[in-house]
Structure 1
Amino acid sequence: MFGCFGGLLGVILGIVALRQIARTGEKGRGFAVGGIVMSCLWLVFIAAGLALEGTSVLSPDSASGSNGTSRTEAEGVDVKKIKVGDCINDDKGVPNAADGEQAMVKRVEIVPCDGPHDGEALAAFQVPGSVKPDERQLFALVSDGCKERMLSRLRRDPAAGSLDMLSYYPSADSWRRGDRDVVCLAVAAGEGTKLTRPIRP
């Protein structure tokens, strides 16, 4: 936020300097214009950073583990507010685990678990360390962590054969802001299929 004020101040001071140079004929017009341009670029970078704040990656934890397309969400509840036991809907549907699709997700809708929903949060944990692993290593850590915490419960469910796992984990931008949170979701394995009840404890 203070960086935003600094950028605005730089633009204002640059304009004042240009007016003074035009009035007095002093040198320094190039520096003043350069300062205004740099301040404007700084404001653009700050705006882009605020737009990406809180973004997490929704990724399939199926055996394929391949990378796919991305998309963004703009409405609902911040993904960082999802708690174990919450059921969620994504108005575009969760990625298809069979296709190995990934999605950049910021917000989801929390809904009752006894109605149609895209996924149920069954586990949560944090990725250790301060240095972000590369995407393949991070995916493996997240996938293994979710399987370790979820697999036995999924196997106890009567519909185990029609269930799959997905996970929210930090994007590169949210990692730089200190995000280490992972949320593990149970989802229906069939594309476009929703869950209609809670997963058996």
Structure 2
Amino acid sequence: MTRPRTRPRNPALLIVAACVLTGSLTGCSVIGDMLPTPVRSVAPVPASALGEVTAVADLFVGDCLREVSEGLDVNARTVPRVPCGERHEFEVFARFPVPGDTFPGDNEVTAAAESGCGSLFEDFVLVEYTVSSLDFAYLTPTERSWVEADETGSPDGREVSCLLTDPAGAVTGTLAGAAR
């Protein structure tokens, strides 16, 4: 799998983002087991500080999310959403459907997420990904969420959520138009 990057990034943060948010959600594909173990340790966040628990399918562009190392059930399909005025590690910068009538498989979904999030990055941040100090991660549909979307008639279980993050750490406020 090739990332749309032309310069080195801080892989530890992307790995933590992928493993913590993506790996703990059945509504999202697990890419964490393809990556090395993160070197950064994250202190557990008390449940009372997580924020509003929101279904992955109910995320909107501009929603801000907390990173957690514990507290989410491995079968959960929710994430901790907080107001962007509070400290947070991720901001949803784009959502888009994975094309097709049947689940294309994890590799194809991951490729679609990499390509789609990479191409939509500049629209939100106002600077090209290759020159930005910011990074991204994503939440992708799984075969289970795809089937549930078919059963409910809702396309949300087929969408990728692109998450903007600052490798320097948590931020307060939106990164929309950050141009960095």
Secondary structure of the corresponding residue to residue 171 of structure 2: coil
Which has the larger Rg? 1
Q: Distance in 2 between the 1:116 and 1:107 partners? A: 19
Q: Distance in 1 between the 2:75 and 2:115 partners? A: 20
Aligned partner of 2:61 among 77, 81, 84 = 84
Q: Following TM superposition, where does structure 1 have runs of at least 4 consecutive aligned residues deviating by more than 6 angstroms?
A: none
Secondary structure of the corresponding residue to residue 177 of structure 1: helix
Give the drift of 1:112. Answer: 1.8
Q: How many residues align?
A: 129
Coordinate RMSD, CA, aligned: 3.4
Unaligned runs of at least 5 residues, structure 2? 1-24, 37-46, 150-156
Structure with the higher helix share, 1 or 2: 1
Does residue 194 of the first structure (1) align with residue 165 of the second (2)? no
TM-score (norm 2): 0.59
Give the drift of 1:139. Answer: 0.7
Q: Distance in 1 between the 2:84 and 2:136 partners? A: 16
Secondary structure of the corresponding residue to residue 96 of structure 2: strand
Q: Distance in 1 between the 2:75 and 2:119 partners? A: 24
- The answer on whether the counterparts of 1:54 and 1:80 sit within 8 Å (CA) in structure 2 is no
Q: Which residue of 1 aligns with 2:158?
A: 180
Aligned partner of 1:67 among 34, 46, 49 = 34
Aligned partner of 1:132 among 88, 93, 103 = 103
Q: Which residue of 2 aligns with 1:24?
A: none
TM-score (norm 1): 0.53
Secondary structure of the corresponding residue to residue 109 of structure 1: strand
Q: Distance in 1 between the 2:96 and 2:143 partners? A: 18
Secondary structure of the corresponding residue to residue 195 of structure 1: coil
Q: Distance in 2 between the 1:147 and 1:58 partners? A: 19
Identify which of structures 1 and 2 has the higher relative contact order when contacts are C-alpha pairs closer than 8 Å and 6+ apart: 2
What pairs up with 1:88-167 in 2 under 5 angstroms? Answer: 88-92=65-69, 106-154=77-125, 156=127, 161-167=132-138
